[in-house]
């Protein structure tokens, strides 16, 4: 097939020099080492004198034997096989892959932050506590809530902590209740977190207009229901217009409202979920507040709550006592701890730095431009790809493969073809309520020129789907590897490297 050179009309995707690189275990030579240990001035103590021989390691672990250059070259080559925000547009819906400012990294790696021991006396970490205290406050201000915890390690753990607080609140009223309402457009973590808190999930159907109707909530809400988990804007990129009414229905039956904050990038500075009846919200600091995604973490899932849930926040919270900052462990109603120590502090430094750089007006501009960009993409591609909900969207819009399916091309094929043009595919096959979904979120940090190039590439792919569907179906052609055999990976699982001559 001579398709490899074809997709060069639009988009930045080109073939460059791609290095072959085996696993690091296949590099190096026995006895080689990439770490310099000091000549020790302390006499070596023989562990065998005190530790039973059976408890001492018998075999050397399987680790590479390589030099520092071997290591640097190996991982640099690996890095070049990755697509990243620093390389190009990453239009993943609901993932908010916006630019990660470099100054955040610089300050987060300052020794005054990275070299702090979690068991250090509070007098030694006043700067860190001050930062955390203010960040707690900023997050509450931004979301219209009363208090916040920075402890959860990621959004999913934030959900878990938030639901535990809801449960603790109900238990304190004498009945923890049994069910949680979750719309069918929710992220998978929502039902998984509800289940982890011992709740039965009641799935609510999204209305024909893409939003949850108050009637659907009224029909399901009762006094055995602990509350609702709602994402606003939802994963269809639409604002839940009945939010206030829904919150009232839930509150009238004694329930509480949980908001999944994954999509806060559409609202910062323009609206606050706390003003919409939400009682608890988790943030994904890596989305709205620019901490890097890192290829899958670390994240940070700060949780903000209304007064009603404040007593249940995980321990410790950060408090100010006069001129000083301190941990507050004296919280008898707390749900306890969800992780050791205090949270992913390194991520908190980055988020704090970003908020201080942007200020109120900067954050307001963030959501305005994120929403403008999304609507620009929506409008520009509406003739080429079917829009599940054609109305004005918030920070993301959801297309589908409905048109392309007629030519035998699916969402997966389109996604793979986008790689050839130099783009990361959007979120695909999610939300589940749109068959063959392509969920596009370009974020506010992308310029109109970048969007225009992306739109042009998408139009070209739409044309290919009509005129040469086989090209699209065989994609990708440009990346280091072609489509991978996932069936083989599942049926003949290889989770670890096995040396040929052990």
Window 332-361: residues binding another protein (CB under 8 A): 335-347, 349, 353, 355-361
**DSSP strand pairing (427-428 vs 397-400):** unpaired
Closest contact distance (angstroms) between CB of 371 and another protein is: 5
What is the maximal distance between C-alpha atoms in the chain?
78
- For residue 190, give the nearest of 425, 430, 387 by alpha carbon: 430
| Residue number, 97 or 257, with CB nearest to another protein | 97
Asked if 253 is part of the footprint of another protein (rule: CB under 8 A), the reply reads: no
Helix 411-421, helix 448-467: angle, nearest 10: 130
Distance, in Å, from the CA atom of 37 to the CA atom of 239, rounded to the nearest integer, reads 57
Closest contact distance (angstroms) between CB of 445 and another protein is: 5
Site for another protein in 415-434 (CB under 8 A): 415-416, 419, 424-425, 429-430
| Residue number, 99 or 252, with CB nearest to another protein | 99
| Residue number, 47 or 219, with CB nearest to another protein | 47
Residue 399 CB partners (closer than 8 Å, separation 6+):
381, 385, 386, 387, 388, 437, 438, 439, 440
Q: Which of 12, 25, 311, 333: binder of another protein (CB under 8 A)?
A: 25
Total binding residues toward another protein, as defined by CB under 8 A: 202
**What is the four-CA torsion angle of 268, 270, 274, 278, rounded to 10 degrees?**
-80
Site for another protein in 435-464 (CB under 8 A): 435, 444-448
| Residue number, 105 or 222, with CB nearest to another protein | 105
Is residue 237 within 8 Å of 374, Cβ to Cβ? yes
Distance, in Å, from the CA atom of 190 to the CA atom of 42, rounded to the nearest integer, reads 53
Distance, in Å, from the CA atom of 450 to the CA atom of 447, rounded to the nearest integer, reads 5
Site for another protein in 268-327 (CB under 8 A): 269-272, 275-276, 290, 292-300, 314
Q: Where are the alpha helices (DSSP H) in 282-328?
A: 285-288
Please tell me the total number of residues recorded for the chain in this structure: 502
- For residue 6, give the nearest of 448, 477, 493, 486 by alpha carbon: 477
Is residue 420 within 8 Å of 263, Cβ to Cβ? no
| Residue number, 5 or 275, with CB nearest to another protein | 275
**Residue range at the interface with another protein (CB under 8 A); choices 215-223, 248-256, 460-468, 491-499:** 491-499
Asked if 47 is part of the footprint of another protein (rule: CB under 8 A), the reply reads: yes
Distance, in Å, from the CA atom of 398 to the CA atom of 401, rounded to the nearest integer, reads 10
Residue 469 vs residues 413, 465, 501: alpha-carbon distances, Å: 9, 4, 46
Site for another protein in 394-413 (CB under 8 A): 394
Site for another protein in 62-121 (CB under 8 A): 62-66, 68, 71-72, 74-87, 90, 92, 95, 97-101, 103, 105-107, 109-121
Residue 374 vs residues 185, 226, 384, 418: alpha-carbon distances, Å: 19, 35, 16, 18
Q: How many CB atoms lie within 10 A of CB 451?
A: 18
Site for another protein in 184-243 (CB under 8 A): 187-189, 191-198, 201, 238-239, 241, 243
**Residue range at the interface with another protein (CB under 8 A); choices 213-221, 303-311, 372-380, 464-472:** 372-380
Asked if 487 is part of the footprint of another protein (rule: CB under 8 A), the reply reads: yes
Closest contact distance (angstroms) between CB of 374 and another protein is: 9
Closest contact distance (angstroms) between CB of 341 and another protein is: 3
Is residue 425 within 8 Å of 415, Cβ to Cβ? yes
Residue 425 CB partners (closer than 8 Å, separation 6+):
92, 414, 415, 416, 418, 419, 438
| Residue number, 268 or 465, with CB nearest to another protein | 268
| Residue number, 219 or 489, with CB nearest to another protein | 489
| Residue number, 28 or 469, with CB nearest to another protein | 28
Closest contact distance (angstroms) between CB of 77 and another protein is: 8
Closest contact distance (angstroms) between CB of 221 and another protein is: 19
DSSP class of 43: P
**Residue range at the interface with another protein (CB under 8 A); choices 4-12, 52-60, 303-311, 457-465:** 52-60
Asked if 178 is part of the footprint of another protein (rule: CB under 8 A), the reply reads: no
Q: Which of 1, 16, 321, 495: binder of another protein (CB under 8 A)?
A: 495
Q: Which of 16, 17, 60, 501: binder of another protein (CB under 8 A)?
A: 60
Is residue 454 within 8 Å of 395, Cβ to Cβ? no
| Residue number, 10 or 199, with CB nearest to another protein | 199
H or E segment to which residue 455 belongs: helix 448-467
Q: Which of 178, 248, 380, 469: binder of another protein (CB under 8 A)?
A: 380
Closest contact distance (angstroms) between CB of 222 and another protein is: 19
Q: Which of 167, 287, 453, 473: binder of another protein (CB under 8 A)?
A: 167
Asked if 500 is part of the footprint of another protein (rule: CB under 8 A), the reply reads: no
Distance, in Å, from the CA atom of 189 to the CA atom of 160, rounded to the nearest integer, reads 9
Q: Which of 1, 16, 17, 61: binder of another protein (CB under 8 A)?
A: 61
Q: What is the CA radius of gyration of the chain?
A: 26
């Amino acid at each position: 097939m001579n398709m490899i050179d074809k997709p060069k009309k639009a988009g930045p995707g080109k073939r460059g020099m791609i290095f072959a690189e085996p696993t690091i275990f296949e590099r190096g030579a026995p006895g080689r080492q990439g770490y310099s240990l000091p000549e020790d001035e302390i006499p070596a103590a023989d562990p065998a004198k005190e530790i039973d021989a059976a408890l001492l390691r018998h075999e050397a672990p399987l680790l590479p034997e390589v030099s520092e250059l071997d290591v640097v070259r190996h991982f640099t080559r690996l890095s070049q096989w990755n697509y990243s925000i620093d390389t190009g547009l990453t239009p993943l819906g609901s993932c908010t892959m916006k630019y990660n400012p470099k100054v955040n990294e610089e300050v987060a790696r300052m020794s005054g932050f990275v070299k702090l021991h979690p068991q250090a006396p509070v007098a030694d970490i006043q700067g860190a506590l001050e930062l955390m205290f203010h960040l707690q406050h900023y997050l509450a201000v931004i979301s219209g809530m009363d208090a916040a915890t920075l402890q959860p390690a990621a959004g999913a753990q934030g959900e878990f902590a938030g639901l535990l607080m809801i449960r603790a609140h109900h238990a304190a009223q004498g009945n923890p209740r049994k069910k949680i309402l979750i719309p069918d457009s929710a992220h998978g973590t929502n039902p998984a977190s509800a289940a982890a808190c011992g709740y039965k999930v009641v799935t609510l159907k999204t209305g024909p207009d893409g939003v949850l109707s108050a009637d659907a909530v009224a029909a399901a809400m009762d006094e055995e229901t602990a509350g609702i988990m709602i994402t606003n804007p939802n994963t269809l990129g639409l604002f839940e217009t009945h939010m206030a009414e829904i919150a009232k229905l839930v509150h009238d039956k004694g329930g509480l409202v949980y908001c999944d904050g994954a999509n806060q990038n559409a609202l910062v500075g323009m609206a606050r979920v706390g003003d919409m009846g939400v009682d608890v919200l988790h943030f994904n600091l890596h989305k709205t507040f620019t901490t890097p995604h890192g290829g899958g973490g670390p994240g940070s899932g700060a949780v903000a709550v209304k007064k009603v849930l404040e007593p249940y926040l995980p321990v410790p919270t950060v408090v100010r006592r006069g001129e000083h900052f301190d941990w507050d462990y004296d919280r008898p109603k707390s749900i306890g701890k969800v992780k050791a120590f205090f949270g992913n502090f390194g991520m908190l430094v980055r988020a704090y730095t970003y908020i201080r750089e942007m200020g109120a007006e900067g954050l307001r501009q963030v959501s305005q431009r994120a929403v403008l960009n999304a609507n620009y993409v929506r409008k520009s591609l509406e003739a080429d790809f079917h829009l599940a909900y054609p109305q004005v969207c918030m920070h993301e819009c959801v297309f589908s493969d409905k048109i392309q399916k007629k030519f035998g091309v699916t969402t997966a094929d389109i996604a793979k073809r986008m790689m050839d043009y130099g783009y990361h595919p959007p979120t695909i096959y999610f939300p589940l309520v749109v068959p063959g979904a392509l969920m596009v979120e370009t974020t506010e940090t992308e310029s109109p020129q970048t969007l225009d190039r992306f739109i042009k590439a998408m139009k070209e792919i739409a044309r290919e789907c009509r005129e040469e569907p086989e090209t699209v179906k065989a994609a990708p052609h440009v990346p280091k590897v072609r489509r991978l055999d996932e069936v083989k990976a599942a049926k003949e699982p290889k989770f670890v490297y096995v040396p040929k001559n052990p």
